[in-house]
Amino acid sequence: MNPCKNHKACTNEALKNAEEICKKKGVKLTKLRETVLRLVWKSHGYVKAYDLLEDLKKIDNSAKPPTVYRSLDFLLEHGFIHKIQSLNAYVGCGHPNTHDNCYFLICNECQNIEEHCSKNINDIVTNTSEKINFLPNKITLEISGTCKECS
Amino acid sequence: MNPCKNHKACTNEALKNAEEICKKKGVKLTKLRETVLRLVWKSHGYVKAYDLLEDLKKIDNSAKPPTVYRSLDFLLEHGFIHKIQSLNAYVGCGHPNTHDNCYFLICNECQNIEEHCSKNINDIVTNTSEKINFLPNKITLEISGTCKECS
DNA sequence: AAGTAAATGTTATATTATAACATAATTGAT
DNA sequence: ATCAATTATGTTATAATATAACATTTACTT
Ligand SMILES: [Zn+2]
Ligand SMILES: [Zn+2]
Ligand SMILES: [Zn+2]
Ligand SMILES: [Zn+2]
């Protein structure tokens, strides 16, 4: 797992970023959404929706699937988290101001996810797309394997 | 949707390839597996597992989820089909002998999927991986958008 | 033919996600 | 402040995707 020096700092920064961006956009980071974002950030690993639900129930026993999924939808929509399609799981976004061309390195051992960005992705996609006249809209690039710590 | 001139030919070639590869590998393309592969190849679009199940039921009414999923697992394992992670769907592989470094262009309008291969993908991945000592194992690259015919 | 392994059949259930409708909280115009 | 509209949350039910576990059949090996 990502050996960050101070994970409270990671989490707080993510929360602060989200607050700011919401303010800028004029949307609301409600208590519930903030709580869910905080729960997603409990580590640098991915989290599953129904695990979040369990966590949320510890705080508010009346939480139900839509409680979680609605918050996830909001957080996804505004780029505060990402969905890992190959795992049906979610992970906090470490750089929500500039999260284009993202891809994910997923460690099968420790569940850590590293998010990277590279213009190169777009280059591949653009090359191919232009050649065949395909209008790209959303790119999903997920690389699973073994991270430095686990190998 | 892919305007192939003769889709029966596409399907038959896929089936023939699968047969050959199975023979070479010493594994069995049973009647059931062949039927499922044929059903996956009903078009160049993606198919959903439970739609396959419905199709299969028309042939053998006793088909059940494991019937489909086991065949899908076999076909995936041997590279005759691919799973589209961002859609929880499946698509036939058009070049099962050499299906490394594949990625998928998915049309949101007509469900067509074009499978491409490029060494460039590996380059990106290898670059990043070496930099951070990540041992890549499986790459998922899926690009959704609008295809030539639909734009 | 008997024994083993592989494939399929069958029942049940786990996991992931959304639909539909009810209620509450917030906003914003009058 | 009041009302209406919008947004968010609560709640119940169910849809959609996938696997576990065990029984039976089929194919292979000796
Ligand atoms: Zn951290
Ligand atoms: Zn990001
Ligand atoms: Zn065709
Ligand atoms: Zn392929």
**Tell me: the pLDDT tens digits for A80-114?**
999 999 999 999 998 877 767 789 999 999 999 99
Q: Which two structure tokens, joined as six digits, stand for A12? A: 């707080």
For ligand 3, a single-atom ion, the residues with CB < 5 A are: B 4, 7, 10
Cβ of A64 less than 7 A from strand D: yes
Nearest ligand, CA A81: 2
In the structure encoding, which two tokens stand for residue B32, read together?
């059931």
- Residue A112, strand partner residues: A45
Mean pLDDT is lowest, of A36-40, A43-47, A95-99, B48-52, for: A95-99
Contact B133 A142 (CB under 8 A): no
Domain with CATH 3.30.1490.190 in chain A: 102-145
Cα–Cα distance between A128 and B117 in angstroms, integer? 10
pLDDT exceeds 80 at position B120: no
Can you tell me the distance from the alpha carbon of A34 to that of A75, in angstroms, rounded to the nearest whole number? 9
Structure tokens at B143: 């690009």
For the whole model, what pTM was predicted? Answer: 0.94
Minimal-distance CA residue of chain A relative to B103: A141
Nearest chain A residue to B113 by CA distance is A134
Tell me the CA–C1' distance in angstroms for A63 and D12.
13
Quick one: fold of A102-145?
Dna Ligase; domain 1 (3.30.1490)
Q: How do beta strands B102-107 and B135-146 pair?
A: parallel
Percent of chain B with pLDDT over 90: 79
Q: Which region among A43-57, A59-73, A129-143 has the lowest average model confidence (pLDDT)?
A: A129-143
- Rounded to whole angstroms, the Cα distance separating B52 from A10 reads 45
Domain with CATH 1.10.10.10 in chain A: 7-92
Cα–Cα distance for residue pair B7/A57, rounded to 1 Å: 52
User: For chain A, what percent of residues have pLDDT higher than 70?
Assistant: 99
In the CATH hierarchy, which top-level class contains the domain A7-92?
mainly alpha
The alpha helices in chain B, defined as continuous H runs, are: 7-25, 31-40, 49-59, 65-77, 119-132
Short-list B44, B39, B37, CA closest to B3 = B44
* pLDDT for residue B99: 65
- Report the residue from A125, A142, A145 with minimal CB separation from B143: A125
How many angstroms separate the CA of A28 from the C1' of D6?
A: 13
